[in-house]
Chain A
Amino acid sequence: MSLGKERPMIEVTTDWYLTLSAILFSIGFLGMMIRKNALIMFMCIELMLNAVNLTFITASNHLGLVDGQIAVFFVLVVAAAEVVVGLAIIVSIFKKQESASVDMLSSSKG
């Protein structure tokens, strides 16, 4: 019987969470660079902001400070405000060209 066999316990430390948030942030950043759809790019921004939130919560849990958790609220509020303005801009573009791809937006070449 393998029931009584002791398995090595892996302790999930603060480092794990920080690494996870760094990975999430990088995924969001790569998505911003690679994907062409404005809505997907928009979701990548949200992903990055949530990675930041995870960092704040981890730090505040590790240090026993409440500051980080308060910062999360501000980041959330800012994210919500960005959603409102960003979706309005995307909708106004979508009305004109029936697509949210940023490839169509090449009238002005930088």
Chain B
Amino acid sequence: MSEISAAIGFNLIVISPTIALVGTALVLLFFTITIESNETVKKSITLIGILITSFCVFLKFGLFFQNGISSYFTQKILLDEFSLFGNVLISLILLFNFLPIWDSSKQLKEKTTEAIILTLMSASGFMLMVDSENLIMLFIGLEIGSISLYALAGLNRGDKLSNEASLKYFLLGSLASCILIYGVSLVFVSFSVFSVYNFALGIAYVGPDSVPLTTSIGVLLIFIGLLFKIAAAPFQSWAPDVYQGSPTGYVGFMSSIAKVSSFIVIARLCLVSINIIIEDFNIFFLIVIISSALIGSLFASIQEDLKRLLAYSGVVQSGFILSGIVSGINGTSASMFYLFTYILQLIGIFIIFSIINGKLSSEFNIQSIQGLFINNRFLAASFCIFMFGLAGIPLTSGFVSKFILLTNLWAYEKYLLVSILLLSTVAGFYFYLRPIWIATIEKTETPIETLKLKKSEYFVITTLATLTIFFGLVPSSLINISRWIVQSYL
């Protein structure tokens, strides 16, 4: 028995974060349907589950330092720096988003547990996705994660916009998944492999000049499917509607977790699978990055809804991160730095939105934050820090990440990309600073009343804002981590 397990690489530690998340969801379900339990019990179960998940990620680090890059379960699960980074990011997203998710779910009354279970299941799917070596595994992880997110977007059934967001997300998301799995099937047709490493071996075997057409189309379709999930233009059309319609408390979680896992998978595909033929896709990526930067900045400037503005800003940021990943190893390292800092700012800003606008609300007009500064000094200050971070103002992590990324692109001699991205940064100063102007300087008759914050909310927002400033002043620690992620591909 043990010989068989050793032969197929049976190791529960590798998938322990996923098991912990699914286990927590099941325990929560059990407590809800059998024993009449109060809110505190459920809340502590969820929190303990998330903490156990983080501990399991810690265990995976131990396994990694013992075995190095290794694959398990007959080349289904991969343990490398990218998967560890993805696991850490997903646990951080869960930890930081725990408060808004819990508070929103509590307002759903009888559907509290459903919402929490959906969140945990979604996180477990994306954990599986960042760990996947096998392309079918990738698809399953993506679907477990996404299907939960479709339901999460439409949880507030009384709200028409929420329903609409859910249907749009569902239809376009499933279309993206279909395109992705068709790409996988075409790759299987050409090389009869699913593993990302064997795929690279297949390409190396036939030589980069005689790659079959089915492979190129298949890889292109896989990328289109993944770019849908990160809302890069021209595949961004769902993002603003979904961000606007979904309950505000969940949007931070939904957007950050899908982006993290998709970017990590794209990075692994670019660095491992199609590393030697990546030049063939240069034009495709160039179009995606330039249109993301331009369309994102253009539409973000004319938005009157803050959540839609953040959606289009996400399009621009996706263009930035993608430009680093497709340009090479140093660029990927810079992109991972960018991803980390961007996710922290994104979560922070959506926690503030959910406090100002109500946890389950959908629309969030930009004028409704008028006079935020007068009665809510703390919220206004942290709002400014996150917005400065997203815009890339010096002394915040956003500036450092943009700086590192652009200098790397300059070193790769991608002058066109650098100029376009700089242009979109300048446009960004307008659409990121306008909400700050409205919140702090613009005169108003009816400022927002004093909002009462819980101690835990103070704590989370302060942590995120401090990290945003900290990585802006002392970026070296995070730069070392992002160098470590790509070191084995150097």
Contact = CB atoms under 8 A, between A and B. Distances in A.
A32 B228 CA distance: 15
B194 interface: yes
A67 B194 contact: yes
Interface in A38-90: 38, 41-42, 45, 48-49, 51-52, 55-56, 58-59, 63, 65, 67-68, 71, 74-75, 78, 81-82, 85-86, 88-90
A110 interface: yes
Nearest to A94: B163
A38 B171 contact: yes
A81 B118 CA distance: 14
B167 interface: yes
B380 to A, nearest CB: 27
Contacts of A105: 163-164, 167-168
Interface in B341-366: none
A85 B160 contact: no
A45 B181 CA distance: 12
Given A58-B189, A71-B194, 5 more contacts: A45-B171, A75-B139, A82-B177, A105-B168, A110-B241
A14 B182 CA distance: 17
A103 to B, nearest CB: 12
A110 B167 CA distance: 14
29 contacts: A18-B189, A28-B178, A32-B175, A38-B171, A41-B171, A45-B174, A48-B175, A56-B188, A63-B192, A67-B188, A67-B194, A71-B136, A71-B194, A78-B140, A78-B143, A82-B143, A85-B147, A85-B150, A89-B170, A92-B154, A92-B166, A93-B164, A96-B160, A105-B167, A107-B160, A107-B164, A108-B161, A108-B240, A108-B241
A37 B143 CA distance: 23
A108 B308 CA distance: 10
Interface of A: 18, 25, 28-29, 32, 38, 41-42, 45, 48-49, 51-52, 55-56, 58-59, 63, 65, 67-68, 71, 74-75, 78, 81-82, 85-86, 88-90, 92-93, 96, 102, 105, 107-108, 110
A103 B143 CA distance: 27
A65 B175 CA distance: 28
Contacts of A82: 143, 147, 174, 177
Contacts of B245: 108
A23 B177 CA distance: 18
Interface string B173-185: 0110110011011
Contacts, number: 110
A68 B237 contact: no
A107 B170 contact: no
Contact of A81 (B143, B171, B184, B186): B143
A92 B164 CA distance: 10
Contact of B167 (A38, A48, A59, A75): A38
Interface in B230-265: 237-238, 240-241, 244-245
B278 interface: no
**Top 9 closest pairs, chain A to chain B, by CB:** A55-B185, A48-B178, A59-B189, A105-B164, A108-B241, A78-B143, A63-B192, A45-B174, A93-B163
A59 B237 contact: no
B188 A85 contact: no
Contact of B154 (A28, A78, A89, A110): A89
Contact of B186 (A55, A71, A74): A55
A110 B237 contact: yes
Interface string B417-457: 00000000000000000000000000000000000000000
B204 interface: no
B141 to A, nearest CB: 11
B157 interface: yes
A32 B240 CA distance: 20
Given A38-B167, A41-B171, A108-B241, A89 B150 contact: yes
B92 interface: no
A48 B166 CA distance: 21
A12 to B, nearest CB: 17
A52 B185 contact: yes
Interface in B145-163: 147, 150-151, 154, 157, 160-161, 163
A52 B180 CA distance: 10
A40 B154 CA distance: 20
Nearest to A47: B178
A36 to B, nearest CB: 11
B163 A45 contact: no
B326 to A, nearest CB: 25
B168 A81 contact: no
A28 B178 CA distance: 10
A93 B192 contact: no
Contacts of A96: 160, 163
A90 B167 contact: yes
Contacts of A86: 150, 170-171, 174
A59 B192 contact: yes
Contacts of B157: 92
Contacts of A32: 171, 175
A49 B161 CA distance: 29
A56 B147 contact: no
